[in-house]
């Protein structure tokens, strides 16, 4: 039986003359500031972007976004504008370009300690290949070119992988404050991962034992060990930050928020973060499943939105737990969404390819780990593993007719394909869907 999946109401589709791939949304107040106006102008020049301004609420931009239907939307905001409510509103309006429940663009909130900090992020146009990863919690180093992590649960435990080697457990310091600062200042990690107790103004490094903390003042991040010794962070190399299990790390409640300090003194160009206390974890931890554990497949932006698509899919297809609903609109994404940061390529658990001839598209999945292909890579954290398989489309599609592979229960929106994780792998089975789809514009 042929299955039809329809998305994108016709009245929301822009004409080719109106279409743009990148839109900057900014308040009139921020646009009137010379420094922040320069941030907007930099993005416009870099991405050939259009600009939408609003008076009282960012929701005012929604009608124009529906008409132009951009692939990327960057919300330029001063710290005073980028609070919890703003993040939730951005989540909501970017799911309303059409009639399906999923996010309809890649978006990011570009802010900073001041306009100069935001301008540094906006100007960065060189893609980042993440070769070095440093973490305050266990991560899958086997999927990284090199890196190290300090255990938040076991005092003195660290694991390190040298380039070309294998991960080895070593003895680390009981207080890892200085060591973690050095991963930023001296080791120059390309990606930094944290978990554990936190607030808008500090991060407690040890989860189950006494350790130091990270804090900030006047836009400068620093470590403070258990003796009170201070270690300032000065790490200008561009990087991404994943506070996947931290409460409130993504909440910009003022210029003195930790998120702002990471951008200002730790070279962070893109980051995610919870704007609320978290006890569930799907919206944060799952980004490791896509970004770090499928190395090279997704940009950091794509990994964040793949995980959010997985969350929405679970909400719409299961009797989801209240905690999952709490994750839906509370994890922020900061930075220029079109900036590319991705893990150095490495063998993945499966290969996935998308090809097309005319309007007929074929999406194939090739298992690489036998029966364990779809099993979790690493289970540290909350809500780990068994994420759906997600493939972003190179251009928007307005209609999809599945002609092969309906047993895989694919969801095809105008901008991505999602297949629920099969969980068990049958090596002789064909994991393929074929569908007919017309371009949106």
User: According to the model, what pLDDT value does residue 20 have?
Assistant: 67
Mean pLDDT value across residues 133-144: 98
Every domain range in the chain assigned CATH 3.40.50 = 3-123
Q: Is 332 helix (H, G, I), strand (E, B) or coil?
A: strand
Distance CA 320, CA 101 (A): 15
pTM for the model: 0.94
- List pLDDT tens digits, range 224-240: 999 999 999 999 999 99
CA atoms within 13 A on the CB side of 404: 10
Nearby residues of 12 by Cβ (< 8 Å), 6 or more positions away:
66, 67, 69, 97, 98
Percent over 90 (pLDDT), the chain: 92
Nearby residues of 51 by Cβ (< 8 Å), 6 or more positions away:
23, 24, 25, 26, 31, 40, 44
- List pLDDT tens digits, range 80-137: 999 999 999 999 999 999 999 999 999 999 999 999 999 999 999 999 999 999 999 9
| Confidence bin at 78 (pLDDT 50/70/90) | very high
Mean pLDDT value across residues 32-43: 98
- pLDDT for 12 beyond 50: no
| Cα 6 to Cα 68, 76, 406, 433, distances in angstroms | 20, 33, 15, 16
| Cα 67 to Cα 16, 63, 98, 392, 414, distances in angstroms | 11, 7, 10, 22, 15
| β-strand pairing of 411-412 with 268-274 | unpaired
Alpha helices per DSSP H over 52-125: 62-68, 84-93, 115-123
* Average pLDDT over the chain, rounded to an integer: 94
| Confidence bin at 427 (pLDDT 50/70/90) | confident
Distance of CA 56 to the CA centre of its chain: 28
- List pLDDT tens digits, range 369-412: 999 999 999 999 999 999 999 999 999 998 899 999 999 999 99
- pLDDT for 156 beyond 70: yes
Please return the burial class of 70, using the count of CB atoms within 10 Å of its CB with bins 0-12, 13-18 and 19+: buried
Distance CA 44, CA 50 (A): 7
> Which residue, 106, 110, 130, is CA-closest to 121?
110
Comparing 6 with 436, the larger pLDDT belongs to: 436
Instruction: Decide if 84 contacts 251 (C-beta within 8 A).
Output: yes
Mean pLDDT value across residues 243-249: 98
| Confidence bin at 1 (pLDDT 50/70/90) | very low
- List pLDDT tens digits, range 334-349: 999 999 999 999 999 9
- pLDDT for 6 beyond 90: no
Mean pLDDT value across residues 232-254: 98
Q: Assign a CATH topology to domain 3-123.
A: Rossmann fold (3.40.50)
Comparing 15-19, 176-180, 192-196, 334-338, the range with the smallest average pLDDT is 15-19
- pLDDT for 9 beyond 50: no
- Give the position of tokens 């944060």: 284
């Amino acid at each position: 039986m042929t299955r039809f999946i329809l998305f994108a109401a016709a009245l929301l589709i822009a004409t080719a003359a109106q279409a743009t791939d990148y839109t900057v949304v900014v308040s009139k107040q921020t646009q009137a500031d010379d420094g922040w106006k320069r941030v907007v102008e930099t993005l416009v020049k870099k991405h050939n972007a259009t600009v939408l301004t609003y008076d009282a609420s960012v929701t005012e931009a929604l009608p124009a976004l529906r008409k132009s239907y951009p692939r990327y939307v960057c919300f330029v905001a001063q710290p005073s504008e980028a609070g919890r409510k703003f993040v939730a509103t951005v989540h909501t309006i970017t799911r309303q370009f059409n009639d399906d429940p999923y996010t309809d663009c890649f978006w990011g909130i570009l802010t900073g300690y001041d306009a100069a900090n935001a301008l540094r992020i906006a100007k960065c146009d060189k893609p980042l290949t993440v070769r070095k990863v440093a973490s305050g919690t266990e991560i899958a180093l086997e999927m990284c070119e090199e890196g190290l992590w300090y255990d938040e649960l076991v005092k003195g435990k660290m694991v390190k992988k040298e380039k070309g080697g294998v991960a080895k457990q070593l003895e680390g310091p009981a207080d890892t404050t200085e060591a973690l600062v050095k991963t930023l200042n001296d080791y120059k990690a390309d990606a930094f991962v944290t978990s554990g107790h936190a607030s808008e103004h500090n991060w407690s490094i040890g989860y189950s034992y006494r350790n130091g903390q990270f804090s900030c003042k006047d836009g400068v991040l620093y470590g403070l060990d258990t003796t009170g010794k201070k270690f300032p962070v000065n790490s200008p190399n561009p990087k991404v930050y994943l506070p996947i299990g931290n409460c409130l790390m993504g909440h910009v409640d003022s210029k003195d928020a930790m998120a702002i300090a990471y951008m200002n003194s730790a070279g962070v160009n893109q980051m995610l973060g919870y704007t609320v206390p978290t006890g569930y974890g799907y919206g944060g931890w799952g980004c490791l499943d896509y970004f770090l554990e499928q190395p090279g497949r997704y940009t950091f932006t794509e990994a964040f939105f793949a995980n959010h698509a997985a969350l929405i899919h679970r909400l719409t297809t299961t009797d989801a737990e209240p905690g999952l609903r709490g994750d839906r609109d509370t994890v922020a994404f900061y930075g220029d969404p079109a900036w590319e940061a991705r893990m150095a390529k490495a063998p993945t658990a499966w290969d996935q390819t998308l090809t097309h001839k005319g309007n007929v598209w074929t999406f194939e999945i090739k298992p690489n780990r036998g029966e364990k292909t779809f099993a979790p890579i690493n289970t540290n954290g909350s809500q780990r593993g068994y994420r759906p398989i997600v493939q972003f489309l190179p251009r928007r599609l307005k209609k999809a007719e599945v002609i092969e592979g309906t047993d895989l229960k694919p969801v095809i929106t105008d901008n991505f394909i999602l297949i629920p994780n099969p969980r068990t792998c049958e090596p002789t089975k064909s994991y393929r869907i074929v569908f007919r789809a017309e371009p949106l514009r």
